[in-house]
Chain A
Amino acid sequence: MITIALFGALAVTAVVAGALVFRVDSMARATFLLLLSFLAVAGLVLMTGLHYLGLVIVLMMIIEMVVMAVFMIMYMMNPAGLMPMSMFHNTRGSAVVAATTFVALAGGALLVDWPVRGGRPAPDLTMALGESLMGGQMLTMMTLGVTLFATIVGTVVLATGRGRYDRLGDELDAPESDDRDRGGVGR
């Protein structure tokens, strides 16, 4: 009974907070409503007994949404609230996509025969997850890691205004850089 009530509360929070993201007139509120929605989903993951994964979702989502807040405000549509703000675009197309996805998923959940559980959960789910990631899924994770790393390096290279040739000269032989903000290790 408590489990069902908790599930309902978390599910409703996730959906309502997610919908409110598009109703509020403030990028800060939109960001943190999205965070609330993610935290409710993390609560649902915790309810399935996956404690490690649930807590990692909490951890990563908070960090991610705080960083996201910086960018959402940097690019926000109503600087200082001077212009009306709308989070919508392509409303008709997205309504069709959303409705189709919902019908497909809900229909699938209701119509398909659910498989009977075979086997039992591992005694230590965190250990089982780690063994899977470091064993059978190692190739997937390595590919993912290298891809993400290459993306980060590529984005920084494309986005930076001053690279090492600007800082240290064409031959990289300047004794020290002419940075306006000197860092902490004296490069």
Chain B
Amino acid sequence: MSTALPLGGAALLPGLLLAVTWAAVAADAVAAGRAAGRPVSWTVALGLPGREAVRLLVGQRRRTAAGDELLRGIGGAALLVAALMAAAVLPLGLRPVADLGPGLVWFNAMEVVAWAAVWLVGWGANSTVSLIGGYRFVAQGLAYELPHMFALITAAVGAQSLRVTDVVAAQQGLWFIVIMPVAFVAFLLSAAAMAFWGPFDAPVGRDVAGGAAAELSGVDRLVFSTGRWLLLVASSAMAVPLFLGGGHGPWLPAWAWVLVKTLAVLGVLIVLRHRVPTIRMERWTEFSWVVLVPATIAQALVVTLVVLGRGGI
């Protein structure tokens, strides 16, 4: 049974994602101003994404000596395209643009494109700090990907389906966050790590002068940072259908619930970024392998037993 949106939804999706991204950038600017002790007013912050985009559009593109422009360009574009493609299975309300059978696998496959993309951007600039940033992201990716996959699998086991709309339908009574809190936390952390966001921004860290993005300017930087923001929005929006009941909720229509919940998840991630300092790679890697991987496997086991106990499959 396919319940995809009509084709117009596909045209609507990038606009919706960009609108949410716009709001998130503004909220992040306000939070950054507050953290720095120089409050930024909401009116200024709301204009910020537009001003920044125009500034980058007219800015000159920096070219490095003997850089691999082709690979760098592919990397930047792939980040943006992958974020949009990942969002295709997000239910906007109760129906996604593309209601794929293995929707969760599609989402995950599009997310890991970011892995290749950031490394390519870091490599392509032919600059040491960029390359360090790219390699940091690969190390971070190795650490976040397994807990992330187990979190996705746990939600799929709970719904007994890889289809995102089935996962939402399974949460009509009880949100999955109640029966799989560990998977939710692991998903949230890995979503931030995937968009090299918050405490996981070492790949573009200040200690390596901006890391993978160090040599990007002008339209290259605009494409890269838009892709990164879209990835953050898409992956935090995915927490809603997976763990927070999707469009289910009283009073409001489904699309409004999805929007409210998505903004709430984004808010948590923005607070996380300004409250927690950057975690060093070796700390996060060990924590992820030694704590998160066993914890998420145990969570998957518990949910499997619950499903079997209820007479599933």
Contacts and interface: CB of A to CB of B under 8 A. Distances in A.
Interface of A: 26, 28-29, 32, 35, 51-52, 55-56, 58-59, 62-63, 65-67, 69-70, 81, 124, 126, 181-185, 187
Contacts of B287: 183-185
Given A62-B109, A185-B290, A67 B142 contact: yes
Interface in B258-284: 279, 282-284
Please report whether the interface of chain A is mostly helix, strand, loop or mixed according to DSSP.
helix
B105 interface: yes
A51 B101 contact: yes
Given A32-B120, A184-B285, A184-B290, 14 more contacts: A32-B116, A56-B105, A56-B109, A59-B105, A59-B112, A62-B116, A63-B112, A65-B116, A69-B119, A70-B135, A126-B102, A183-B287, A183-B290, A185-B291
A63 B141 CA distance: 9
A26 to B, nearest CB: 7
A81 B295 CA distance: 44
Contacts of A81: 66
A149 to B, nearest CB: 14
A67 B109 CA distance: 15
B71 A184 contact: no
Interface in B84-100: 100
B184 interface: no
Given A26-B68, A59-B109, A62-B115, A52 B135 contact: no
Nearest to A50: B102
Contacts of A66: 112, 115-116, 119, 138, 141
Contacts of A58: 109
Contacts of B120: 28, 32
A107 B8 CA distance: 48
16 contacts: A28-B71, A32-B74, A51-B102, A52-B105, A52-B162, A56-B109, A59-B112, A62-B112, A63-B145, A66-B115, A69-B119, A70-B138, A81-B66, A126-B101, A181-B282, A187-B286
Contacts of B304: none
B110 to A, nearest CB: 9
A40 B276 CA distance: 41
Contacts of A56: 105, 109
A15 B68 CA distance: 23
B113 interface: yes
A81 B66 CA distance: 10
Nearest to B286: A183
A183 B291 CA distance: 12
Contact of A183 (B68, B116, B141, B283): B283
Interface in B130-156: 135, 138, 141-142, 145
B224 interface: no
